[in-house]
Amino acid sequence: MNEIGRDLEAALRAAGGTVRGQRALAGHDEHYEFDIEGRAPLYVAISGGALSFGEGPSPKREPLRFSRLELAEGTLRAILGGDVSPVEAMERGELLMRTRLYGGGQMTILLRAAYDLARARRLAATALPSVKDRASG
């Protein structure tokens, strides 16, 4: 898998480990194709509460269980890096999700959890030293 695919997999696996992510994964059977501008498609499947990933078009394109996400690599990196939420990207027209009524909900939740984790890491890295650290330094 290419670098952006590996980054997406790592971020979604971490997101799937959060409380929000576990709720999104539980009891769903969905397939998502990420059409990243200038790249070959990637797919993510949710089945039995677990995630799987692959290169190429989604092998399951069942009308009621398939969604397609179209975006630029920079937009995906901004979401995974905690710079732009998935909803903000949709509002800006930078993330297009073609789905049935609620089909994209699970992926939106997972992308939001990945965004939240990245923001929390960034905040932790830039946090002011604690009082204890200042006293010992």
CATH code of residue 56: 3.30.1050.10
Place of tokens 């993330």: 95
Token couple for 124: 């932790």
Judge whether 130 lies within some domain: no
Give the range of the structural domain holding residue 72, as residue numbers without chain letter.
Answer: 3-125
Q: Which of left, alpha, beta for 56 (phi over 0: left; psi -120 to 50: alpha)?
A: left
- State how far the Cα of 88 lies from the Cα of 91, in Å rounded to an integer: 5
Residue 45: its pLDDT value, please?
A: 93
Judge whether 137 lies within some domain: no
Please state the length of the chain.
137
Provide the domain count of the chain. Answer: 1
Judge whether 131 lies within some domain: no
Judge whether 38 lies within some domain: yes
User: In angstroms, what CA-CA distances link 64 with 61, 68, 129?
Assistant: 8, 12, 50
Residue 82: its pLDDT value, please?
A: 95
Instruction: Walk along the chain (137 residues) and give the pLDDT tens digit of each residue.
Output: 899 999 999 999 999 999 999 998 998 888 999 999 999 999 999 998 999 999 999 988 877 778 999 999 999 999 999 999 999 999 999 999 988 766 678 888 999 999 999 999 988 888 766 655 555 55
